[in-house]
Amino acid sequence: MREIQANVLTETIAKLAIEANCVLPCDVKRRIEDARKNEPWETAQGILDKIIENYGIAEANTVPICQDTGVCCVFLKIGQDVHIEGDIRAAVDEGVRRGYTEGYLRKSVVADPLRRVNTGDNTPAMLYTEIVPGDRLEITVAPKGFGSENMSRLAMLKPSDGIEGVKAFILRTVEEAGPNPCPPIIVGVGVGGTFDKAAYLAKKALMRSTDERNADPFYADLEAELLEKINALGVGPQGFGGKTTALAVNIEWMPTHIAGLPVAVNINCHVTRHKTVVL
């Protein structure tokens, strides 16, 4: 049994929260820069130039790329041969508290969805844990902005709706969102499971690098087809028209019930942030 002290978790999360908010992942930068080269619409070119300039300034000055530094999603993949010494939940929240305070990040969490008093330190984190084989601990910190989160949707389709129903739902969700989620967007899709698992898969899909296609060629083809169809909608960067509406479509799937076809679409903006370390 390998021992990891909870304070190591705290320090790692604090550091990742600041880095994730100020430095855009390389794959996302590459997608935006490629999109700029292939964008034929002049207004859209101008917007993409400003987006590129913005993440350059953020990285150079260690300031947040976007003022919505998000609710802090923390994914822990805990090896079953690891023992974390201390309170995991408290250690994670302390990491968020420290990162968001020391990094001058915005505190955007209210303690209660109806009474709405800000917690003042961006806690609690949205914590997702998974038990995996081995003696490693993988930590991913993903600040999630709510402009795009609010445009996310879930549908419990019928098996007879099939693949065409799934495609139509995803396209409708992106089209209805229009300019609101700050396009160009990254589209996370979860198919299958249960009501809640579909949503979780969609969120997890956003953690995957945009360089990586689904391991199953059937779903990899579906990702490519949906990206092409979304970029034919004409919404464009910021919704002012253009080719670049989405930078990637990532799909995750799992088995489901004979009676169901759950599909969830979790939208992320061009400031798709996540950073991972393995301890």
Task: Give residues in contact with another protein (CB under 8 A).
Answer: 40-41, 43-44, 47, 50-51, 53-55, 57-58, 61, 63-69, 104-108, 116, 118, 120, 145, 147, 150, 178-182, 234-236, 238-243, 269-271
Q: How far is the CB of 101 from another protein (least distance, A)?
A: 9
| CB proximity list for 263: less than 8 A, separation 6 or greater | 154, 155, 157, 166, 169, 170, 189, 190, 191, 198
Looking at this protein, which amino acid is placed at residue 109? V
- Look at residues 107, 119, 4, 69 and name the one whose alpha carbon lies nearest to residue 271: 69
Q: How far is the CB of 205 from another protein (least distance, A)?
A: 20
At residue 85, the 3 state secondary structure works out as: strand
Q: How far is the CB of 99 from another protein (least distance, A)?
A: 13
104/218 with CB nearer another protein? 104
Q: How far is the CB of 53 from another protein (least distance, A)?
A: 6
53/212 with CB nearer another protein? 53
Within 86-228, strands assigned E span: 126-132, 137-144, 153-157, 185-193
Q: How far is the CB of 212 from another protein (least distance, A)?
A: 23
68/252 with CB nearer another protein? 68
| CB proximity list for 255: less than 8 A, separation 6 or greater | 192, 193
d(CA 90, CA 106): 20
60/258 with CB nearer another protein? 60
95/183 with CB nearer another protein? 183
d(CA 23, CA 270): 13
Q: How far is CA 75 from CA 143, 277, 278, in A?
A: 11, 11, 12
